[in-house]
Structure 1
Amino acid sequence: MNLKDLPVEEARARMLAAVTPGALETVALDRHAEGRVLAEPIRAVRDQPPFDASAMDGYALQPGDVAASFAVVGESAAGRPFSQGVGAGEAVRIFTGAEVPPGCAVVIQERATREGERVRFEGPPPLERTNVRPRAGDFAAGDVLLPAGVRLDAWRLALAASAGRAEAQVYPQPRVAIISTGEEIVRAGTVDIQPAQIFDSNGPSLATLTASWGGRPIRLEPARDDEDAILAAIQGVEAELIVTVGGASVGDYDLVKPALKRLGLELLVETIRLRPGKPTWFGRLADGRFVLGLPGNPASGLVAAELFLRPLLAVWQGGDPTLRMEHARLTRPMRESGPREHWMRAKLESAADGSVQVTPFSDQDSSLVSVFAAADALLRRPTHAPAAEAGDVVEVIRLGRL
């Protein structure tokens, strides 16, 4: 089986076919649920609101009642409803969120003049349902409020809680161990850095991306270009996926794959027809852990993370691994592309007519962290794409910028 120079789609398909979601977990919605993917639908156990509720502070009375003044016969507050009927010429003081007596409408308090136990109103009598939120106006008992497969955020958690749910079944969060390799790599903050060394930018960024995509990142210390050092760094790490950064090519110091073959590495993808990111690879160790090998150049690694790590984490969590492609119009011409699918860092903006425009950065060198920090999208150029003119439509994916 050919594992080298695979098209991007084929490489991604091979990776995704190898992984499956883990055992389901039950979590409390108010503790460990944010960012988790639902493994079951959330259904409403009762109507919301569970009664006709007042939308305003005011008075409840029968619609169309034209009495000159009304006897105030009681009060309905949130949690303390008025339990009797309301007849002609009668009104009930009511507050926002309180249960509306049967058949009543609500007149806002700004139209009311209270005189002891009587009240009169300015303006026409209320119509049926005026200022009333109807029972089940938000949702009804039995409605599916959240389908399986959605990721829980604060707003969806509010919806689940309003349905009375205190916990839910979710997919597990995959543990992702991240290790940068190379004699020159040191952690940011190292005081005694040498002139020939560089700070590790890939580790923090990949850990942050992993967490934002629902995984549980495990930062490992950088490993030297030494097989024994690489093995020692990952030997006992408990993780579903190990992400290695650097050492992915075919140079004398690219020792990650040779080292991992000592742990029974089975390659499923060896190289990809991708720019930047051709050396990206994927495999499985004898103990069942998967390994995603990313190039050391920051742009190469982050492009590959968007194209492969993000979909892998989605599958592990029972989510949708499909890339969120959009269309945008080029602001400047582009040359024809080569034999590798090219993903270019780019900037999006809205045109006067409301359409989305995209400008690729002129310098796409894969070592430039500053360009990636300024980009908010990746522009896809298929293999052997013809030259494009300003105004042509191209495919982009948005980066998750704040």
Structure 2
Amino acid sequence: MFDRIAILDWSAAGRPKTGKDSIWLAVADAEGVRATNIPTRTEAEGAVAALMKQGRTLLGIDVSLAYPAGFAEQIAGGPLDLWGWLAQHISDAPDNSNNHREVASLMNSHFQGEGPLWGNGAKAEIDGLPRLKPAHALPEWRACEKAMRSAGAQPSSCWQLAGVGAVGAQMLTAHPMLHRLQHNTNTSVWPFEKPSENVIAEVYPSLLSAEVKAHLARHPAMVPDQAQVTLLAQALWTLNGNGTLAQMLHADLPEAAKIEGWVLGQDDPIALRRALPPVQEPPRLRDDCFAMPQGVSWVPVDEALERLRAALTPLAQVQALPTHMAHGRILAADTVARRSNPPRPNSAVDGYGFAHATTGAGVQTLPLVKGRAAAGQPFDGAVPAGAAVRILTGAILPDGVDTVVLEEDCAVDAASVTFDGPVKPRANTRKAGEDVEAGVTALTQGTKLRAPEIALLSALGVPEVQVYAPLRVGVLSTGDEIINRPDQDALPHQIYDANRPMLLSLLDRWGYTPVDLGHVKDDPKRIEKALDRGADRADVILTSGGASAGDEDHTSRILRTKGTLSSWRIALKPGRPLALSLWNGAPVFGLPGNPVAALVCALVFARPALSLMSGAGWLEPIGFTVPAAFEKNKKPGRREYLRARLNAKGEAEVFKSEGSGRISGLAWADGLVELDDGPAQITHGAPVRYIPYAMLGLT
């Protein structure tokens, strides 16, 4: 645990500078987050040294702490030895004038040829420091940068000293300062050394690029560097408090990290992003959204569903995620194809390509041009009219080719290809964009991103998507008769809690974030505190028990007196009472206490409602008409849901009892038979509507 987090955005400017592309220092601690703009490196070093001397400080600096393997070893030894070498050779005056270019030339002299460092931005020529990128044997990227690039990030090369995106000069001026900090304070350098009281670590603010962009949209006067250090300090301070930062600092890293360093948080960027507090107020429901009209008593199921659908709106926050990390999320906006699929006309088979206009009927013999076209290896040049080229599946059609003949239909020698004509124009080829064209809407808002959708967006060059954050749904059990855990002893008048684990499991299966709010006794103050806790931690709350109007139905009474309760008496069996309320802005679904009724109400009402609030839209259950393997005389007035399963003949059998406390029937069944509101005389073989558990997200 650190007492403060400091994030330093460095600059190699040759004169004092403030504003954009200058030095920014953000400090997060128990008092909040503060960002300071510092005009010179000398002042910045003094400010950071003062922080480190206070102890228990993590300094994250947006500078690569080491070079690719082979560089430091050639000059000074290890990466921290190179810091010491640079501290001896770099002179950095209080007015920011420095000799980093001359030192870069000296470093290059340790290598054959021109050396890896380049980018002389001065007017005068400097021997040994080329202006343009030279050829050299050292790697362009460290292992950590390769990993970030494969994940879509775009770190800059450490070898470039000047020009757009250059970071080399920052490293040369920062490493001497860090060397002095390390030796003048009780400071270790991660991951080269075991963490001590103070720690220096490399950070990469672009891991929060989406959040920074959103922050700047709300604060247009803020400098981007200021936003970066502020948000990163805030995120790491949160991770410091919950223990995640300590785990990051002690995580197992690749062997290359001991030589080349590593970026703090790069292995879990989502944890870093989620550590930031919400930046926008979530949408709220109207206080009277669940109110029933005067005089309404029993509500048919269909009317209740329509009223519920009209009352609700999406509640989930919108966030940006890399496409490859968005599996299971719901699109919050239409997604447009950045490129066509396929991007260019290509071959659908292995064969030979040519211009169709140069062929006709009968045996066709075309001379072969030298070379071939393969996927990822386009043919260099154009194919002359009357000639053919070897082409493989997925290869871009070269200029002069619009048709491909399958290799199995050809006779080939070293000079020519022969086949029977005529061949259809554009045979065995794919048009550019025949799957999806660039600029069109590929997927619409509300689409759930499964593996197929991830594949489509990736193929269309969509690197990032706007998605809804997972809906957080709290589950609270109430009742004096409830025993919280099955490993505890229960007296004869007590029962084990079945509803809470059932509902938490159900929510997890539906793709939401279950929030276990635990169990509370029938004590109004405890129930109020539990509801307060639920409204803080969850977007929606499900309760079970206490939804009626009995003497011990405290949940219903509390929601009525201190919330905005509307008790819906649904014409439904099982599960007539359904309490709907708002508590501190969070919708509350009060489900019946009997497990069968609680599950049926959750499947019929909570499932479509949660889907709508999550951003995925309203869900209608899909059912099938099957023959009945039972008999029943149903009375009018209520819709009924019977626990059912299909037998070997495809007929629906129903559980032997309709009691809402018979939990074994839920496990026995593999679906529900839905009997409509009116009267019905069900006989063997009569058609009934059967809804499999799988169509209710219960598998």
Task: Tell me the TM-score normalised to structure 1 length.
Answer: 0.85
Q: Which AA in structure 1 matches 2:303?
A: E
Q: 1:207 aligns with which of 492, 504, 508?
A: 504
Measured in 2, the distance between the counterparts of 1:374 and 1:367 equals 14
Q: 1:73 aligns with which of 348, 358, 370?
A: 370
User: What's the secondary structure of 1:379's corresponding residue?
Assistant: strand
> How far off its partner does 1:366 sit?
1.6
The equivalent of 2:463 in structure 1 is: 166
Assess if the C-alpha contact under 8 Å between 1:337 and 1:381 holds in 2.
no
Q: 2:311 aligns with which of 8, 15, 18?
A: 18
1:193 aligns with 2:489: yes
1:59 aligns with 2:59: no
Q: 1:324 to 1:391 in 2, by over 3 A?
A: same
The equivalent of 2:333 in structure 1 is: 40
The equivalent of 1:376 in structure 2 is: 670
1:324 aligns with 2:617: no
The equivalent of 2:539 in structure 1 is: 240
User: What's the secondary structure of 1:130's corresponding residue?
Assistant: coil
> How far off its partner does 1:300 sit?
0.5
The equivalent of 1:361 in structure 2 is: 655
> How far off its partner does 1:178 sit?
0.3
> How far off its partner does 1:207 sit?
2.1
> How far off its partner does 1:261 sit?
4.4
1:389 aligns with 2:688: no
The equivalent of 2:604 in structure 1 is: 307
1:253 aligns with 2:552: yes
Q: Which AA in structure 2 matches 1:359?
A: E
Measured in 2, the distance between the counterparts of 1:268 and 1:250 equals 12
The equivalent of 1:279 in structure 2 is: 577
Q: Which moved more, 1:209-218 or 1:291-300?
A: 209-218
> How far off its partner does 1:121 sit?
4.8
User: What's the secondary structure of 2:299's corresponding residue?
Assistant: coil
User: 5 Å matches for 1:72-91?
Assistant: 72-87=369-384, 90-91=387-388
1:342 aligns with 2:636: no
Measured in 2, the distance between the counterparts of 1:203 and 1:23 equals 23
Assess if the C-alpha contact under 8 Å between 2:366 and 2:388 holds in 1.
no
Measured in 1, the distance between the counterparts of 2:317 and 2:488 equals 46
After superposition, give the CA deviation of every residue in 1:120-150 in whole Å (9 maximum; x if it has no partner): 4566675432321222221223333222232
Measured in 2, the distance between the counterparts of 1:217 and 1:172 equals 13
Assess if the C-alpha contact under 8 Å between 1:112 and 1:119 holds in 2.
no
The equivalent of 1:148 in structure 2 is: 445
Q: 1:97 aligns with which of 381, 390, 394?
A: 394
Measured in 1, the distance between the counterparts of 2:510 and 2:525 equals 31
**Matched positions, count:** 394
Measured in 2, the distance between the counterparts of 1:62 and 1:192 equals 80
Q: CA RMSD in A?
A: 3.0
Measured in 2, the distance between the counterparts of 1:46 and 1:272 equals 51
> How far off its partner does 1:327 sit?
4.2
Q: 1:350 to 1:166 in 2, by over 3 A?
A: farther
Q: Which AA in structure 2 matches 1:217?
A: P
Q: 1:179 to 1:32 in 2, by over 3 A?
A: farther
Q: Give 1 or 2 for the bigger CA radius of gyration.
A: 2
Q: 1:15 to 1:233 in 2, by over 3 A?
A: same
Assess if the C-alpha contact under 8 Å between 2:475 and 2:515 holds in 1.
yes
After superposition, give the CA deviation of every residue in 1:59-79 in whole Å (9 maximum; x if it has no partner): 323444745563342211222
> How far off its partner does 1:342 sit?
1.0
Measured in 2, the distance between the counterparts of 1:11 and 1:342 equals 15
Measured in 1, the distance between the counterparts of 2:324 and 2:439 equals 25
Which 5+ residue runs of structure 1 have no aligned equivalent? none
User: What's the secondary structure of 2:352's corresponding residue?
Assistant: strand
> How far off its partner does 1:49 sit?
0.8
Q: 1:218 to 1:31 in 2, by over 3 A?
A: farther
Assess if the C-alpha contact under 8 Å between 1:55 and 1:96 holds in 2.
yes
Assess if the C-alpha contact under 8 Å between 1:268 and 1:284 holds in 2.
no
Assess if the C-alpha contact under 8 Å between 2:559 and 2:581 holds in 1.
no
Assess if the C-alpha contact under 8 Å between 2:354 and 2:388 holds in 1.
yes
Q: Which moved more, 1:387-396 or 1:214-223?
A: 387-396
> How far off its partner does 1:325 sit?
4.5
User: What's the secondary structure of 1:368's corresponding residue?
Assistant: coil
The equivalent of 1:9 in structure 2 is: 302
Q: Which moved more, 1:244-253 or 1:289-298?
A: 244-253
Q: 1:81 to 1:350 in 2, by over 3 A?
A: farther
Q: Which AA in structure 1 matches 2:544?
A: V
Q: Which moved more, 1:30-39 or 1:218-227?
A: 30-39
Q: 1:374 to 1:95 in 2, by over 3 A?
A: farther
The equivalent of 1:50 in structure 2 is: 343
Measured in 2, the distance between the counterparts of 1:32 and 1:259 equals 41
Q: 1:60 to 1:248 in 2, by over 3 A?
A: same
> How far off its partner does 1:55 sit?
1.6
Q: 1:23 to 1:328 in 2, by over 3 A?
A: closer
> How far off its partner does 1:5 sit?
3.2
> How far off its partner does 1:349 sit?
6.8
Measured in 1, the distance between the counterparts of 2:499 and 2:316 equals 30
Structure holding more strand per residue: 1
Measured in 2, the distance between the counterparts of 1:183 and 1:163 equals 57
1:228 aligns with 2:529: no
Structure holding more helix per residue: 2
Assess if the C-alpha contact under 8 Å between 1:74 and 1:91 holds in 2.
no
